[in-house]
Amino acid sequence: MPIDTPARDLVRQLSRVGLRPDERLVKRIVEHGAEARAALLELATDTEALHGDLPATLGPLHALRLLGELPDGSMIAPLLSQLPIQIYGDEDVPARLYATEILQIIGRVGAPAVPLLWAYADDEANGAAPRSAAVNALAYVATFAPETRDEIIAEARRRLESTEDSDELTGVVTLLSELGDAESYKPIMAAYRAGKVHKERAPAAAARQFLLGGGRRDLTCVNHPLFERYDHHGPYLRPPDEDLDEDE
């Protein structure tokens, strides 16, 4: 294949490669930089394809993961707008993996993502679930770019005390809990008692566990480069009578 193959044509191959793309294809896509990012974002936001047939159903997941190798603030809003991801049972493996990793990929944008995510959360034109997810994503930013952690926690504490928006508050509670901010334990539990938190999205038991236990351990998955994602999270090859699974 000629070396000057357009990025869009290379990205299109991600819907045909099966369980994981090979290193040569990945290298060629990444070399296209911004042009590749645009094509990857187009495929990654085709979330209806996640529920199709193999191998095309894995195309959006491959594209999402590759965006983590070309992180940029421009991908944040289009990705958040895909939420929530519909998952139709245990067999819907591509969608489950996509939903698990989308905030991790956003987190890989690092420090430039911080003002963009707060701004997205503040924009009432965005849906409730994406706005809350924008706040949740800051936990991954703080893990990927630890120099942002104190700034993020300080702003989240301020919002915990001041916001009356239950969607935003739910996101803030999840953020502080997953970061293990023990100093926020009392005001967070008070918010639950006051009925200000969507408990179906942020169960009080999980918040309590994270706050008292040092945070959510798997936030570090944000640091996985591309092929470690396949090694640690799948999808994996199974015998014909078994499903693809993401478990290690």
pLDDT in tens, 113-140: 999 999 999 999 999 889 989 999 999 9
CA distances from 184 to 30, 62, 153 (A): 41, 37, 10
| pLDDT for position 243 | 44
What integer best gives the mean pLDDT of the chain? 93
pLDDT for 236: 87
Amino acid at 70: L
205, pLDDT greater than 90: yes
Same structural domain, 100 and 135: no
User: Which residues are CB-contacts of 39 (< 8 A; sequence separation ≥ 6)?
Assistant: 7, 8, 10, 11, 12, 32
Do 65 and 100 contact (CB within 8 A), yes or no?
Answer: no
CA 221 – CA 171 distance, rounded (Å): 20
Model pLDDT, residue 238: 64
Judge if 87 and 179 occupy the same domain. Answer: no
- For residues 177 and 4, the model is more confident at 177
The pLDDT assigned to 167 comes to: 85
Asked if residue 104 and residue 3 are part of one domain, the reply reads yes
pLDDT, average across residues 166-193 = 95
Same domain, 16 and 100: yes
Range of the domain at 41: 1-108+224-248
Residue 95 sits in the same domain as residue 148: no
Residues in CB range of 138: below 8 A, 6 or more apart:
113, 114, 117, 118, 152, 156, 175
Q: Which amino acid is at 234?
A: G
